[in-house]
Amino acid sequence: MEKVSIPISFSHEGTTYKGWATPSDHVHPDGMPSSYHVVLNETFFGDMSYHDGHWLISEQRPASLVKATGDVLSTMLATPSHTGLPQS
């Protein structure tokens, strides 16, 4: 089965961001993807991963925008059908 991108949309400091997050092929033992490839406003934002209670990113991005993006991802991922992984 094919992975599904998670649509994301939010506003931060007066700018509206729209895009998607695609899960990596690597998964943690709990079955959750180890990272997400994130695109915002048609621009690669970075590969985001959650570690020790914080979202980390592979690119240089403003910390407040990384946190806002991570908060949106966390909310979306709280619903199992939004992990981006194929459902069995």
pLDDT by residue for the chain (88 residues), tens only, comes to 467 899 999 999 999 999 999 999 888 787 778 899 999 999 999 999 988 888 999 999 999 999 999 999 988 887 765 555 444 4
pLDDT of 1 reads 44
Q: How far is residue 52's CA from residue 39's CA, in Å, rounded to a whole number?
A: 23
Are 33 and 45 in contact, with CB atoms under 8 Å apart?
no
Q: How far is residue 68's CA from residue 27's CA, in Å, rounded to a whole number?
A: 23
Q: Is residue 66 part of a domain?
A: yes
Q: What is the number of structural domains in the chain? A: 1
Q: Is residue 1 part of a domain?
A: no
Q: Is residue 41 part of a domain?
A: yes
Q: Is residue 85 part of a domain?
A: no
Q: Is residue 49 part of a domain?
A: yes
- Structural domain boundaries, residue 52: 6-78
Q: Is residue 86 part of a domain?
A: no
pLDDT of 82 reads 54
Q: Is residue 84 part of a domain?
A: no
pLDDT of 86 reads 47
Q: Is residue 21 part of a domain?
A: yes
